Amino acid sequence: MELDLTGLTTRAAQVWGGVRLVPLTRDEPVTGLRLHARVHGYQVGVVEVDRRTHYVSYVPHGFVATWSDDDTPVAAYGTQLERGTAGGKPPHGMRLRLHRRTARRVERNRLRFLPLHVAVEGYLALHFGGPEVVWEEWSQRAVRRGLSPRVEEAYVGAEVEGLADAVKHFEIHPDQCGVLVYVADAPAAAFVVPHPDDYRALHTTLLQDLYGELVHHYATLATPVPPFDVRLPDDVASLADLRAAAAREQAEWARFHDLTMAGGLLGESYATSRVHRVGDFALSRFLPTFRVKEENHIGELITDRDGRTAYLKSFRLSEAHIRRGHLLTNLAAHHWHLATTAAALGVTEPQLGLRLQAAGFGALLREDVLARYRAG
């Protein structure tokens, strides 16, 4: 599927240094669905995927879609040795919040979900079980534990250079229901909500969201990007002429943006999987086809029965993320057989094995097999 932003209008961009925010407005808000924020603070949380699978992540806030001295878990800082005496002081550490599932119905008409974690969970779970066929090259760890533990890194929005100032100073349009974030004119994230009131309440959560290493790198090294200059013709002689010229410029900017700047996000096909249904709406996650050396995004969205997007949040993958997804997808497509996968990728089997090691999957291969690959 492709992302459908029918009903959303692209407005003129606002620029702050290397950050460009492109507002998205709706002529009519999506009825029957509202989003509210539930702030957890800057903390680490444990998210339960199922009874056997959990992951630790930065979880600053949650969204609710409406149609200590206690037993709070603590993560210790490093290794600590304590005397086993009753009533001793607890270890020095940080509180952990437990989250039951990334999306969970809390009331009949209320769904609580963790923004971006629905999408990230889908990426982390990509062929998580490891080899489906026990070929001789795979280690016992790969057979018994698959890709566990799977680790990926991201940056909080507050650490993306210039984003905090942009969010603080930029104007929010009266009908604004979303924004596309660009860093060094590279698409970084998309955020869409059903109603303008939702957007005004959730605008600052852009600083609490997750951003990939590539976006952080671009923000650190970016030079100021040029604004979108409006050039009016010389024959403007009345207010009517001025309105017509402004409308043409606005339409031209929207066409340029949607087809060129946002083409890598909006013009690509994604594999989607439904996570939860709430009334007439469905919460889904989407994954790209993992095109190497191209723009790739993961994300989550809520659509109505007609397929219109009511909610959208995306995460741009770094080159390392893409390589890992590309390797796993191809291995799974060829039943985890190294020689067959290598032939499909146009490389030798030793080259594929070394690529797996460079991508962080070296532990999945037997050590003697890796040594043979290194020896050529």
58-76 pLDDT, tens digit each: 555 566 677 633 444 444 4
Bridge partners (DSSP) listed for residue 25 = 9, 176
pLDDT reported for residue 76: 41
Q: Are 61 and 214 in contact (CB under 8 A)?
A: no
| pTM for the structure as a whole | 0.81
Other beta carbons less than 10 A from residue 99's beta carbon: 21
More confident residue, 282 or 104: 282
- Pairing relation of β-strands 93-100 and 44-48? parallel
Residue 90: cis peptide before it, omega within 30 degrees of 0: no
More confident residue, 305 or 313: 313
Report whether pLDDT(86) > 80: no
pLDDT per residue as tens digits for the range 13-32: 999 999 999 999 998 999 88
Report whether pLDDT(101) > 60: no
More confident residue, 175 or 111: 175
pLDDT band at 128 (very low <50, low <70, confident <90, very high): confident
pLDDT per residue as tens digits for the range 145-171: 888 888 888 899 999 999 999 999 999
Q: Are 125 and 102 in contact (CB under 8 A)?
A: no
pLDDT band at 346 (very low <50, low <70, confident <90, very high): very high
Other beta carbons less than 10 A from residue 193's beta carbon: 29
Q: Are 120 and 209 in contact (CB under 8 A)?
A: no
pLDDT reported for residue 274: 92
Report whether pLDDT(1) > 60: yes
Q: Are 351 and 357 in contact (CB under 8 A)?
A: no
Pairwise CA distance, residues 215 & 233, whole Å: 37
Pairwise CA distance, residues 285 & 117, whole Å: 10
Q: Are 65 and 35 in contact (CB under 8 A)?
A: yes
Q: Name the residue with tokens 């004119």.
A: 185
More confident residue, 32 or 327: 327
The single-letter DSSP state of residue 112 is E
Please state, for a pLDDT cut of 90, what percent of the chain lies above it: 54
More confident residue, 211 or 88: 211
pLDDT per residue as tens digits for the range 254-299: 999 999 999 999 989 999 999 888 788 899 999 999 999 999 999 9
Question: What SS3 state is found at 248?
Answer: helix
Bridge partners (DSSP) listed for residue 111 = 65, 105
Other beta carbons less than 10 A from residue 265's beta carbon: 24
Range scoring the smallest mean pLDDT among 47-61, 112-126, 304-318, 320-334: 47-61
pLDDT per residue as tens digits for the range 184-208: 999 999 999 999 999 999 999 999 8
More confident residue, 2 or 101: 2
pLDDT band at 136 (very low <50, low <70, confident <90, very high): very high
More confident residue, 191 or 124: 191
Pairwise CA distance, residues 273 & 271, whole Å: 7
Q: Averaging pLDDT over each range in 55-64, 111-120, 231-240, which range is the top one?
A: 231-240
Please report which helix (H) or strand (E) contains residue 105, including its range: strand 103-107
C-alpha angle 311/315/321, rounded to 5°? 150
Please report which helix (H) or strand (E) contains residue 272, including its range: strand 271-278
Q: What is the mean pLDDT of the chain?
A: 84
pLDDT reported for residue 338: 96
